Amino acid sequence: MSHIPTASEGWRIGVLFSRSGLSALTESEHLRGTTLAIEEINKGGGVRGLPLVPVLRDPQSSPTIYRQMARQLIVDEGVTIIFGCSHSASRKAVLPLVERHDALLFYPSVYEGFEYSENVIYAGATLNQCAFALADFLIRRYGKRIGFVGADYIFPRESNRTMRDILESKGAKVAGEVYAPLEASSSEVAELMGHIRSWQADAVFSTVIGGPARQLYRMYAEAGFDTQQRPIASLTMAETEINEIGPEYCHGHVLSASYFQTLPSDQNQLFVAAYKDRFGPEATTSVWSQTAYLQVYLLAHALERAGSLEPSALAPHLLGQNLLAPEGPVCVDQENRHLWLTPRIGIMRRDGLFDVAWQADSPVRPDPYLATARFDEVWV
C-alpha cells in the first residue's frame, strides 16, 4: 500500500500523547516537543514540499484507551507512523497493533529495556545509558546504603532489579525496597516515607511517577531530610515536574538523563528559545520534550530521502542516521533501533533547573538487553 500523499493531504502522522490522567504532565511535554518540531519543519517548507499533518488523540493515560486509539489511527485513519506512549504499560498495549499492521512507533521515554521490535524506534535512554552512571555517582558522592521506592509496574520493578545488581557488584547495599500503587493515595505515599525514615539510607532511588512522585518529594522535604546530603535520585523527575512540585522542595535532588535545559550548546540554546517563544517564557524544556522533538526530525530526514511513510521504505534511512539534537549528537543504532545517547547526571538547583555534575565523554551505545554491560565497570 502506498502512503505518498497528494499536495492537499500532506504527510499524515499519528500523535498519541495524554493530556489528562496520571501522566498528563510529562506526556504534555512530549506533545509540546512533537508540536514544536512539526511546526518548525512545516515553516521550513515541510518535507518534499508537503507539510507534516498531525492526527492527534488523547489516550488519557489509560493503556486500554491507548490500544483503542492506536487501532483508530492505524486501521480507521490509515496512519503508518505514530509518535506516542510515555510509559511501558502504554507502549506494550500499542505494540501488538503496530506490529500486526506493520506501522512504526517512535517511543520517546527512558524505559527498562529487554525489548526489540522492528516496528519501534526507541528514542529514550536504556538502563546502561542512565542507571549505571547513576549508581557510581550515588556511591561516590553520598554513600553505599541506597533505599528503593517505586510504583508497582514494569519499569520500576525492572529498573530496581538492574540497579540492585549494579550497586551490589560495587559493594553497596540496598537498605530496603518498597512499592506503592501506580496511582498511590497520599496515605500510601506517607507509608513510603515511613520506610524511608526507618532505613537511614545515604540516598533514595525513586521510580515513583506522576502525582505520587510529586507528593513524595514534598513529603521528603517536609520530613526534614537534608536533600543536599541525602537526596532522592531518579531517572524521570525532570525540570517541568520540579516546577510543579516547587523548586524549594527539590534543591539537591539528582536526575540521570541525557538532556538538561542548562546544556550550553548553540543547538540547545536555539531549542530553548524556540520552546519558550512557542509555549511561554515560564515554560521549561526537559528530557521529555527534547526527546519527542528530536525524534520528529529523525523521521523528517528519513522521509526526505524515502519519499514514503511506509516503514519498510523509511527503515534504511532511519537506521544509522546521525542527528545533532539539542542534547548533542545522537545516532539510531542499526542493530537494535535504540539511540546512542550521552549519559549525564544533574543536581537540582534552587531555580528548578539542573547543574550538570557529570557527563560521559561521548555518546554511549544502547544495550537494551545488557548483553555486553559490565556491572562493576566504573563510570563516574
Answer yes or no: are the C-beta atoms of 331 and 357 closer than 8 Å.
no
What interhelical angle do 88-100 and 63-71 show, nearest 10?
20
Q: How far is the C-alpha of 374 from the C-alpha of 118, rounded, in Å?
A: 27
Q: How far is the C-alpha of 267 from the C-alpha of 323, rounded, in Å?
A: 11
Would you place residue 8 in the very low, low, confident or very high pLDDT band (cuts 50, 70, 90)? low
pLDDT in tens, 347-368: 999 999 999 999 999 999 999 9
pLDDT of residue 271 exceeding 80: yes
* Mean per-residue pLDDT over the chain, rounded: 96
Q: How far is the C-alpha of 157 from the C-alpha of 299, rounded, in Å?
A: 32
Q: How far is the C-alpha of 344 from the C-alpha of 348, rounded, in Å?
A: 13
pLDDT in tens, 135-158: 999 999 999 999 999 999 999 999
Which candidate, 343, 22, 345, places its Cα nearest to that of 153?
22
Q: How many residues does the chain have?
A: 380
Please state the separation of Cα 270 from the chain's center in Å: 21
C-alpha cell at 44: 521550513
Helix, coil or strand: residue 46: coil
Answer yes or no: are the C-beta atoms of 132 and 377 closer than 8 Å.
yes
Q: Which residues contact 374 (CB under 8 A, 6 or more apart)?
A: none
Q: Which residues pair with 104 in a beta bridge?
A: 81
Which candidate, 216, 154, 228, places its Cα nearest to that of 184?
216
Q: How far is CA 313 from CA 3, 39, 132, 228, 317, in A?
A: 10, 24, 36, 50, 8
Residue position matching grid coordinates 560521559:
360
For position 376, what pLDDT does the model report?
Answer: 85
- When pLDDT is averaged across residues 313-324 and rounded to a whole number, the result is 98
Helix, coil or strand: residue 355: strand
pLDDT in tens, 193-241: 999 999 999 999 999 999 999 999 999 999 999 999 999 999 999 999 9
CB atoms within 10 A of CB 114: 13
Q: Which residues pair with 150 in a beta bridge?
A: 179, 207
pLDDT of residue 3 exceeding 70: no
Q: Which pTM was predicted?
A: 0.96
pLDDT in tens, 95-145: 999 999 999 999 999 999 999 999 999 999 999 999 999 999 999 999 999
Q: How far is the C-alpha of 219 from the C-alpha of 187, rounded, in Å?
A: 11
Answer yes or no: are the C-beta atoms of 252 and 228 closer than 8 Å.
yes
For position 7, what pLDDT does the model report?
Answer: 58
pLDDT of residue 5 exceeding 80: no
Query: Do β-strands 120-122 and 322-325 pair in parallel, antiparallel, or remain unpaired?
Result: unpaired
Which candidate, 150, 12, 142, 146, places its Cα nearest to that of 83?
12
Residues of the chain above pLDDT 70, percent: 98
Helix, coil or strand: residue 329: strand
Which amino acid appears at position 303 of this protein?
Answer: L
pLDDT in tens, 50-69: 999 999 999 999 999 999 99
Q: How far is the C-alpha of 97 from the C-alpha of 95, rounded, in Å?
A: 5
CB atoms within 10 A of CB 249: 17
CA 137, 141, 145: angle at the middle one, nearest 5? 85
Helix, coil or strand: residue 340: strand
Q: How far is the C-alpha of 99 from the C-alpha of 297, rounded, in Å?
A: 23
Answer yes or no: are the C-beta atoms of 214 and 244 closer than 8 Å.
yes
pLDDT of residue 307 exceeding 70: yes
